[in-house]
A and B are shown apart, each in its own frame.
Chain A
Amino acid sequence: MNKVMDPAMARIFAAMQLVPKIDLRALPTAEARQTFIAQQVPWAWCPHPLKEIRNLTIPGPAGPMRGRLYLPEGGDARPVVVFAHGGGWTFGDIDTIETPDPLTVVFKMKNPNPAMLEHFASPWNWVYAAKDLAANANAPRTAINGTGPFRLGEHVRGSHITGTRNDKYFRQGRPYLDGFRGVFMTQPAAMMNALQGGQVMAEFRGISPAERDRLVQVMGDRIRIEESSWTLNLMVVFNTEKKPFDDVRVRRALHLAIDRRAGAQGLARTATLRDPGGLVRPGSPFAMKDEDLLKVPGFGRDIAAARAEARKLLREAGVPNLTFVLHNRNLAQPYTPAGIFLVDQWRQIGVNVEHRQSETSPYLAGMSSGNFDVAIDFSNLFMDEPSLALAKYLSFNKAPENRSRAIDAEMDRLYAAQSRERDFQKRFDLIRQFEKRAFDQAYQVPMLWWHRIVPTHKVVMGWQMSPSHNLGQDLADVWLNT
């Protein structure tokens, strides 16, 4: 038998060989989904026009099976490919991607997914011309086009990135700027000085309240400050594979002892932390309302009662004098203030905590290997979408980013239900059920949500504040009022 491979298929395989192997199971679920969708793109390079795509029902021994026939143009005297799929996989919601003409992409869904439009707008997606991908399948990694409104000028790692105006941008008259230069600064003090000195006209990620106050004091009406709640939160994670944190009473006690209301007020002055909230960003459409949050144990105003309950739970669990190490990241904002705050909160119920901070690399290594008792974890959401926000709370075997390493089929079920529900109110209610389960079990609980503070020089016009530093940064509408 001659081994002949279809040339288009050969190109797809060649492209797959070039792309580094990614273990989707090791990625956060949301990121894995995006990667999975991106990996499907080469399969849409169909050089043969199709005469017909027909859905079939094939009788099988255990009942009818679904099938699909792809019939190419040019007669029927062609070899047949039978592609059988085991079924049962629910990872990808997209069934097929078709490109009937150069300006149209048709995504056919396997399952309803109310988050899909948001996913398409994810800042981690990229669009490449088919001819570029055909010429170099590794283009998304090596041939960076630009941001849309701007073409890439140069990127010097650790120094700067520049962009020049894209005259062919699809929006007429945009962008206004001829170009931009972004500088990378790791020291907040250097950034503050650059802002004050006018070398930098905006700091888009977010600064601390103390830095904000300093800028306003020094620069007066030359600086504009915009603030928003942030799609970032800090969480307290209990390693459920270690004793006594496998006991829900211990986890709940430590959750109840945190006075988030007082912390929100106090830390808001010194740290980039502010809003107490549930699992979805406070203020976003699917977030729990504050009056409802007040009724959730651990988020109310009667901290004395909550701490009495916490002590009782610790006694019942047989660990009234609990001692453990709090694993934290060695970053000034907001990890260190959060660690100081938590140590104080837990001491008030008689728990002795050793606060151990590590540089980012060993911190992350400890988190992923489960080498910790209790840790401060973070959730960095690039969009306001519950399916993304709740993914971190899925069972560990489904979501490796769940650092508590807990397995909870009920939470998985509720997650799946909300992710398929297109009715807003029903989905809202399902998310509340998911949150209730999360707080009852307290495998990992939100501490406080971050607060984004962005300073821009008053001459910078047209930039819109967003609750994420990953969104709204194409600078297409920005202009300078000099």
Chain B
Amino acid sequence: MAGAVSQPPIAGPNVTYAAPKRHSALAMFCLAQPLGAISGVAIAIMLFGGVFADFVAPYDPLTIDFGAMLAPPSWEHWMGTDAFGRDIFSRVIFGARTALTIGFFASLMGCVSGAMIGVASAYFGGRIDMIVQRFIDVMLSFPIIVLALVVVAMLGRNQIGGIDINLVFAIAIPILPKVARVVRSAALSIREMPYVDAARAAGFGHMRIILRHMVPNVAAPFLIMFTAFIAQAILLEASLSFLGLGVTEPTPAWGLMLSGNASDFYREAPWMILFPGLAISVAVFAFNLFGDSLRDWLDPKFKV
């Protein structure tokens, strides 16, 4: 190159820059949210137990053994037996299947329908928003357990494939207004975004704008609520089963294990209520903690 003056390299310390370490999202979550990671492990264990209960559980959860009635915890029966001689450990494992199935589907149903209503309400605004929100107000005025009790009493039972569909409805309906209200508040700000205006200006229909442009942008609060409401749904299912309105005997279910004969024998056989109670507590605690951690991790406001 004409006129170019070659210059000696500048002497200095030999600095090497290591390429930034690439952590997986999972590892980053574990590092940032250790409590969330622990609760995630607890959830994974429950999921594993629930899915593979047939292989993990040492006994059939329904088989009666009158020779082992009310046996205390031992090597043979880790969590003891109930008033029918059924192995409580096996019933707790199978109970995870019941709790997670109903919890997952009820939360999914409540959250999806609530999110749809919330987004639509925010998008259309005006009179539609006002009417929808007053309905939501009415639903929110009922305590969650009362609303579930009313719904389950009205619908009765309708078992399909071993799952009481009406019970799932009964649990999903109280979740719906809570999700709708939160999602609406998130969607209200999204509605004002220029890309929504652009989509409207491009002549897209309401459904396309809602589904393609607004719903994906409320995914973060949706996911957080979905996780947290699984805990609520598990608790609600346990409560309804305890009250005799949920799952029926002999299906293994944690709430059901606390009622019936357990109330007759909890003095002489406290393990009948101790372990199912612990299972409910751990499950609810784990899902709540996981939901909180997920919110902290996903929400930029919490990333300090």
Contact = CB atoms under 8 A, between A and B. Distances in A.
B264 A270 contact: yes
Interface string A326-368: 0000101000110111011001000000111110001000000
A355 B261 CA distance: 17
A341 B249 CA distance: 10
A332 B248 contact: no
A330 B248 CA distance: 9
B249 A270 contact: no
B265 interface: yes
Given A356-B157, A356-B248, A357-B248, A340 B264 contact: no
B5 to A, nearest CB: 92
Given A210-B265, A265-B66, A347-B62, A340 B250 contact: yes
Contacts of A354: 159, 162
A340 B66 contact: no
Contacts of A211: 264
A447 to B, nearest CB: 14
B249 A336 contact: yes
A306 B265 CA distance: 33
A340 B156 CA distance: 20
A462 interface: no
Contact of B260 (A214, A336, A343): A336
A262 B264 contact: no
B250 A343 contact: yes
Interface string B248-269: 1111000000001101110100
B190 to A, nearest CB: 46
B64 A341 contact: yes
Interface in B36-78: 62-64, 66, 69
B229 to A, nearest CB: 28
B159 A270 contact: no
Interface class of chain A by DSSP: helix
A210 B250 contact: no
B85 interface: yes
A137 to B, nearest CB: 41
B155 to A, nearest CB: 12
Contacts of A341: 64, 84
B248 A344 contact: no
A262 B85 CA distance: 13
Q: How large is the interface on B (under 10, 10 to 19, 20 to 34, 35 or more residues)?
A: 20 to 34
A332 B265 CA distance: 14
Contact of B63 (A208, A210, A344): A344
A336 B83 CA distance: 12
B157 A340 contact: no
A270 B157 CA distance: 27
A112 interface: no
A332 B263 CA distance: 11
A355 B157 contact: no
B239 to A, nearest CB: 17
A269 interface: yes
Interface string A240-275: 000000000000000000000011011001100000
A208 B250 contact: no
Interface string B67-99: 001000000000000011100000000000000
B244 interface: yes
Contacts of A343: 62, 250
A469 to B, nearest CB: 21
B62 A356 contact: no
B249 A339 contact: yes
Nearest to A210: B264
B249 A266 contact: no
B262 to A, nearest CB: 11
A196 to B, nearest CB: 14
A255 B51 CA distance: 35
A339 to B, nearest CB: 6
Contact of B69 (A266, A339, A357, A358): A266
Interface string A52-86: 00000000000000000000000000000000000
Contacts of A332: 260
A270 B64 contact: no
A270 B248 contact: no
B248 A355 contact: yes
Contacts of A210: 261, 264-265
A428 B157 CA distance: 45
Interface in A307-340: 330, 332, 336-337, 339-340
Contacts of A262: 66
Contacts of A266: 64, 66, 69, 84-85
A354 B249 CA distance: 9
A336 B267 CA distance: 21
Contact of B64 (A340, A357, A358): A340
Contacts of B265: 210, 270
Contact of A330 (B85, B244, B261, B264): B244
A421 B231 CA distance: 67
Interface string B164-188: 0000000000000000000000000
A339 B66 CA distance: 15
A362 B153 CA distance: 12
Candidate in A266, A269, A330, A347 with the most chain B CB atoms within 10 angstroms: A266
A337 B248 contact: no
Nearest to B267: A214
Candidate in B261, B263, B264 with the most chain A CB atoms within 10 angstroms: B264
Nearest to A341: B64
A193 to B, nearest CB: 13
A355 B250 contact: yes
Nearest to B264: A210
Contact of A355 (B85, B244, B249): B249
B248 A362 contact: no
Contacts of A358: 156-157
A262 B64 CA distance: 11
A270 B250 contact: no
Nearest to B85: A266
Contacts of A214: 264, 267
A33 to B, nearest CB: 36
Given A214-B267, A332-B260, A355-B248, 11 more contacts: A210-B264, A263-B66, A270-B83, A336-B249, A339-B249, A340-B249, A344-B62, A344-B64, A354-B159, A357-B249, A358-B157
15 contacts: A208-B264, A210-B264, A211-B264, A262-B66, A265-B66, A266-B66, A270-B265, A330-B248, A332-B260, A337-B261, A340-B249, A344-B84, A355-B248, A355-B250, A358-B156
Interface of A: 189, 208, 210-211, 214, 262-263, 265-266, 269-270, 330, 332, 336-337, 339-341, 343-344, 347, 354-358, 362
